[in-house]
A and B are shown apart, each in its own frame.
Chain A
Amino acid sequence: MKVLVPVKRVVDYNVKIRVKPDGSGVDVANVKFSMNPFDEIAVEEAIRLKEAGKATEVVLVTIGPAKADETLRSGMAIGADRGIHVKTDELVEPLAVAKILAKIVAEEAPGLVILGKQAIDDDSNQTGQMLAALLGWGQGTFASKVEITEGSVDVTREVDGGLQTVTLKLPAVVTTDLRLNEPRYASLPNIIKAKKKEVAAKTPADYGVDITPRLEVLKTAEPPARKAGIKVGSVPELLEKLKTAGVL
């Protein structure tokens, strides 16, 4: 079984982004980019399935600018076999991403697609569910455990009240939550080896997908700032303040 893992290049999670003063967007010049953390977890899970003999090949896909090649390479450095780079400098919304992925799935015929549950830039949490919809497959979102059995997969999901386990027929779509695994670090020899792995260069037009945005961004603003608070010296003083504030 082949496993397909879509990965996104995003602003690193440690960066506190700044909004451009003219409200036209977020200033991402000269900031560090990395693979979306949930996608790292997805790559790691796919590699573990391969190591366990459940998967035969791990194929990465990224949709993004030329620099997203680094994102593919970092996934191949921890063990993915090859990559597909759908090159575009446009912002591609989750629905269009899902449409491109559906076309790639038709070509590659994976038994499982593992995605991150959300990208930490647009925080949409949509792509995996949309891909499953377009393919007519089952979806195991927000996974904290994935167990492949004969012809199906059991996915334990983090839900509001606790945990839920569903059984999905294969092929299926899984999206990762934080506690599915802890991704490994790449070794230097593997980083070098990854540079030689095969990456197919494509464009959205190759798949006949219209990526025109459906959402028009009118403005990007700073969130309202909280006004600075005070330090209190003791527990009784704290309780006094809370009483005065009317919250106790």
Chain B
Amino acid sequence: MTALIVAEVTESALAPSTAKALTAALQIGGGVHILVAGKNVGPAAEAAAKLSGVEKVLVADGAAYGHHLAEPLAALIVGLAGGYDAILAPSTSSSKNVLPRVAALLDVAQVSDIIKVVSADTFERPIYAGNAIQTVRSKDAKKVITVRTASFTATGEGGSAAIEAIGAGSDPSVSSFKSEALAKSERPELTAAKIIVSGGRGLASSENFKEYIEPVATRLGAAIGASRAAVDAGYAPNDLQVGQTGKVVAPDLYVAIGISGAIQHLAGMKDSKVIVAINKDEEAPIFQVADYGLVADLFPTLKELDAELAKAGR
């Protein structure tokens, strides 16, 4: 049996989430190939070829795949699918968009967001915002699977797979790219960060979010996260939302500041190794999942935290 992983490519680089999906594929067993599709993706293909356990890297380099539009990308994957028993991708916004399209074209039920491989056809996945874990067995001959990256460690380097260029698939020509507004940040990417400092509605304004969250995050070398309420209110951009419908993260340290701890927020962070909550309401549900809780007004607390970290040379 052979699995195909659809790589996550950011600009020309291979995103770390790909190596996590690879771990799931290797647990399923059999050979693994990686498809790298995009524009100018040579560096990503080379990085994929170095991952341990990969037999072959297929590269579809072309403008048609530059913006990861679902329609041409799904057509490309479906064209390759005949040679594979399983198609996997990390659960990113790109694969959440593309893989169900692939699954339907193959007449297969997708298994979304697996958190564990039980056997080659049986997987665990969260339902109800992670408040229950289902074990499901796929009865389809071909599996289409997205992998929750917070639940798998990355496979390391050590391979030297062959890289093979493949031609473009057909473009259904029903969609085109118009524009994008992507955040540029020097900080670690949210789903790959070891430390996350997250702000909620308690911050009360975008100015405060900047003034209080950013310095502490910078001192800790942390990524910044946000609750839905903070994003809806415009304190933080949408790509920082953590939760059931945002990003799912599991850093070593998650610091929740002015976040109440709604079910939908917990769904995105409760697998973090250590959770800290700073909230002035001692009844806030976030304290039920926090390893260390500080009941305090966040504004003076964050100033003090910033000063203490500075003193400690961070």
Residues of A within 8 A of B (CB): 11, 13, 16-17, 19, 26, 38, 93-95, 98, 117-118, 120-134, 136-139, 141-142, 144, 154, 157-169, 172, 177-179, 213-223, 226, 228-236, 238-239, 241-242, 245, 247-248
Which one of A132, A136, A235, A245 contacts B291 once the chains associate, using CB atoms below 8 Å? A245
B208 interface contact, C-beta 8 A: no
Q: Which of A126, A142, A242 has the most CB of B within 10 A?
A: A126
> In the assembled complex, which residues on chain B have CB atoms less than 8 Å from the CB atom of A166?
67, 69, 175-178
**B112–A124 CB distance below 8 A:** yes
B252 interface contact, C-beta 8 A: yes
**A238–B276 CB distance below 8 A:** yes
B21 to chain A, nearest CB (A): 15
Given contact pairs A95-B108, A218-B137, A226-B275, enumerate 18 new A-B contacts (beta carbons under 8 Å): A38-B245, A123-B127, A130-B100, A139-B71, A142-B93, A158-B93, A158-B238, A162-B180, A165-B178, A165-B179, A166-B177, A169-B173, A214-B140, A217-B135, A230-B291, A232-B294, A235-B305, A247-B252
Q: A215-B136, A215-B139 given as contacts; is B101 within 8 A of A231 (CB)?
A: no
**B131–A16 CB distance below 8 A:** yes
B205 interface contact, C-beta 8 A: no
B51 to chain A, nearest CB (A): 21
B interface, size bucket? 35 or more
Q: How far is B128's CA from A137's CA once the two chains are assembled, in angstroms?
A: 30
Q: Which residues 61-104 of B sit at the A interface, judged by CB distance below 8 A?
A: 67, 69-71, 74, 92-94, 96-104
> Could you list 24 A-B pairs, sorted by A, with CB under 8 Å?
A95-B104, A95-B108, A120-B129, A125-B100, A126-B103, A129-B97, A129-B99, A130-B103, A133-B74, A137-B174, A141-B96, A159-B180, A164-B179, A166-B69, A167-B175, A177-B238, A220-B134, A222-B133, A229-B289, A235-B294, A235-B305, A238-B292, A238-B294, A247-B273
**B274–A247 CB distance below 8 A:** yes
> In the assembled complex, which residues on chain B have CB atoms less than 8 Å from the CB atom of A93?
109
**A223–B132 CB distance below 8 A:** yes
**A239–B308 CB distance below 8 A:** yes
**B94–A160 CB distance below 8 A:** yes
Q: Which residues 157-179 of B sit at the A interface, judged by CB distance below 8 A?
A: 172-179
Which one of B134, B232, B301 contacts A235 once the chains associate, using CB atoms below 8 Å? B301
A209 to chain B, nearest CB (A): 12
> In the assembled complex, which residues on chain B have CB atoms less than 8 Å from the CB atom of A221?
132-135
> In the assembled complex, which residues on chain A have CB atoms less than 8 Å from the CB atom of B291?
226, 229-230, 245
Which one of B70, B129, B275 contacts A123 once the chains associate, using CB atoms below 8 Å? B129
Residue of A at shortest CB range from B307?
A: A235
**A118–B137 CB distance below 8 A:** no
> In the assembled complex, which residues on chain B have CB atoms less than 8 Å from the CB atom of A123?
112-113, 126-129, 244
**A129–B70 CB distance below 8 A:** yes
Q: How far is B101's CA from A45's CA once the two chains are assembled, in angstroms?
A: 23
Q: How far is B82's CA from A20's CA once the two chains are assembled, in angstroms?
A: 40
Residue of B at shortest CB range from A122?
A: B127
Q: How far is B96's CA from A137's CA once the two chains are assembled, in angstroms?
A: 17
User: What 1/0 flags go to B130-151 for Cβ under 8 Å of A?
Assistant: 1111111111100000000000
A22 to chain B, nearest CB (A): 13
Q: How far is B108's CA from A219's CA once the two chains are assembled, in angstroms?
A: 21
Residue of A at shortest CB range from B273?
A: A247
B237 interface contact, C-beta 8 A: yes
Q: A95-B103, A214-B138, A221-B132 given as contacts; is B238 within 8 A of A231 (CB)?
A: no
> In the assembled complex, which residues on chain A have CB atoms less than 8 Å from the CB atom of B71?
138-139
> In the assembled complex, which residues on chain B have CB atoms less than 8 Å from the CB atom of A228?
288
> In the assembled complex, which residues on chain B have CB atoms less than 8 Å from the CB atom of A168?
174-175
**B231–A129 CB distance below 8 A:** no
> In the assembled complex, which residues on chain B have CB atoms less than 8 Å from the CB atom of A214?
108-109, 138-140
Q: A17-B128, A17-B131 given as contacts; is B100 within 8 A of A215 (CB)?
A: no
